[in-house]
Chain A
């Protein structure tokens, strides 16, 4: 199985800070995704990337940007963190065949 690693399990940041969430996968998969997960709302897609330097907006891209300079790494950037971005962030990767996601362990971000 592909392994997806998120660099931090827990993060606490101040309002207005620039925040980087890193995600690395080890199976050369083309597609990578960033979700946030909130109680009662399930998983919502922020951004995804289907190749190096390629990115597509998901359902809730406002306040976020992404970077994919290398195939194995997909970064989520909060340009100016706000309290409503307090959430669990999940990264996922999938092969071009599309048989299913593999998720990272998640990053619990708290913005104070």
Chain B
């Protein structure tokens, strides 16, 4: 069964600290993996997209990694800011039939 699991479910960190969010998936055949940031009350916004051949991709203070062998991805946030407080959603797409599989998200709270 194609599934996407994210951990932790929620996380509270101090401003300025780093954190890492995890995404494990069983989707096959794998096409790509996206990390989205969703501010409270708003729609998700894409942060990065990872294809099979990419191991690491950065977008400012966000760095995503992908291990296609173990089917794991992580999103690392460096020097967190209050504005990083949001839900982070991992979405994996399959090559067949335009299928997308969503994780339930990690809720990140950055406190001063």
Contact = CB atoms under 8 A, between A and B. Distances in A.
A94 B31 CA distance: 15
Interface stretch (A60-68, A69-77, A79-87, A100-108): A100-108
B102 A43 contact: yes
Interface residues of A, number: 22
A52 B82 CA distance: 42
B93 interface: yes
Contacts of A9: 41
Given A99-B49, A100-B49, A40 B34 contact: no
Contact of B43 (A50, A100, A104): A104
Given A99-B32, A100-B49, A41 B104 contact: yes
Interface residues of B, number: 20
Nearest to A6: B43
A36 B71 CA distance: 27
Interface in B54-112: 89, 91, 93, 98, 100, 102-105
B79 to A, nearest CB: 26
A90 interface: yes
A101 B100 contact: yes
Interface of A: 4, 6, 9, 31, 40-43, 50, 88, 90, 94, 98-106, 108
Given A90-B44, A94-B98, A106-B41, 5 more contacts: A40-B104, A41-B104, A42-B89, A42-B105, A103-B45
